[in-house]
Amino acid sequence: MKTRLFHMTDLPAVQAFLRDHSLPTAGIVTNRGGFLLVEDQSKLIGVTGLEVHGNVGLLRSVAVDSVSRSQGIATELVGQAIQYARQFGLTDLYLLTTTAEHYFPRFGFKKISRSAAPAALQASAEFQGVCPETAILMHLPLEKSPMTQTDLPDVQSTAGFLDTVRGAPTLPLEFRLYGEALVPAGYHVTEVKAVSIESMDCGGQANSWRETVIQLMDGSPAEAAQGFMTTRKFLGIYDRVAARIPVHAEAEVRFEYGNVTTPAMQFHMASVEVQPERVVVDLRHPGVMCKATGASSNEGQCCGPSEPKEVVPIFQEATRTCCTPAEPELIQLG
């Protein structure tokens, strides 16, 4: 599967796709912003649109082909659209929905009164009759809680990692540490965690960010004899989980691994490389940094102020600790 931006040559296919899913086609090319498309072997299987109205955006037309659902495609599309909205410098993102009011809160959207929409948005085609008056308005503030780490290279983000793996052919997926073998053949993906972190550094500065933590575990000798997990199987596992939990495209991706001889540890990703016979994820040990001074754990002590600054109230996102999945569907990890 491949995710890409809309081009004018895609207009007939996108219009037909939206009509097939009972979504409006007005305004596809008349507003600032654009559409994101997901294709599988050149077949359009998913779309979403982002309209820009002044300093606010309207998320529209989120649709996935019926045979391609439950693979995390909609989650990826919405996450990337939110990321683009932030890159455009938008302050708020809105959407109108008649059927998915319980889906979008996982991304931070909340229901609000239609009368609370800014004037620029109320003048849009969606508000002027394309969407029914019964459609629910939902709102996501973009400036208040970006939850991203600054200066994060794209290859370390969840989206950057997944884009590389999705763009590769079906090959063994290997995890190495500084170029040396770390995770042996036959490993399992046992857990995918969407983590929200709130912290305060020694300088009294509040920080917040998100991480995607993918846990790996050794398999049996028989499984090891079958070789490494393929990119296709890995993506199948990840996408099933991403369809159920709010994994964020911009979050840093980490890998958690340990065994009977190596203590469990979360590793940063240094790079991911598609080679002729395998896809190699090169990991590195986590480091410690004083955010107040920018000094790393190898550069000496930090010296923040003796009295912390005002503590900003923070919201700590709840996480599931029980190993029993929520009803009614069991997500099978392999």
Summary count for the chain: helices (H), strands (E): 6, 16
Following DSSP, what letter does each residue of 99-137 receive, concatenated? S-TTTGGGGT-EEE-GGGS-HHHHTSTIIIIIS-TTPEE
What is the number of residues in the chain? 334
Average pLDDT across the chain, whole number: 79
Is 66:239 a contact under the CB 8 Å cutoff?
A: no
Do residues 92 and 141 make contact, with C-beta atoms less than 8 angstroms apart?
Answer: yes
Q: Are 208 and 199 in contact (CB under 8 A)?
A: yes
Cα separation values, 256 from 3, 59, 250, 284, Å = 27, 34, 19, 11
Name which residue leads in pLDDT, 256 or 108.
256
Model pTM score:
0.49
pLDDT in tens, 76-85: 888 888 888 8
Instruction: Please state the domain extents for the chain.
Output: 2-141, 154-296
Name which residue leads in pLDDT, 108 or 332. Answer: 108
Query: Which numeric CATH code is attached to 2-141?
Result: 3.40.630.30
Residue 332 confidence (pLDDT) above 50: no
As a whole number of angstroms, the distance between CA 132 and CA 230 comes to: 45
> Is the pLDDT score of 321 beyond 60?
no
Averaged pLDDT for residues 269-276: 91
> Averaged over 28-44, what is the pLDDT?
79
The predicted-structure confidence for 178-213, as pLDDT tens digits, reads as follows 888 999 999 999 999 999 888 887 777 777 888 999
* Closest C-alpha among 82, 65, 70 to residue 13: 65
What backbone torsions phi and psi does residue 209 show, to the nearest 5 degrees? -160, 170
Where residue 94 falls among pLDDT bands split at 50, 70, 90? very high
pLDDT tens by residue, 55-73:
888 998 888 988 887 777 8
Tell which wins on pLDDT, 98 or 214: 214
- Tell me how far apart the alpha carbons of residues 216 and 283 are, in angstroms, rounded to a whole number: 13
70 and 243 in contact (C-beta within 8 Å)?
A: yes
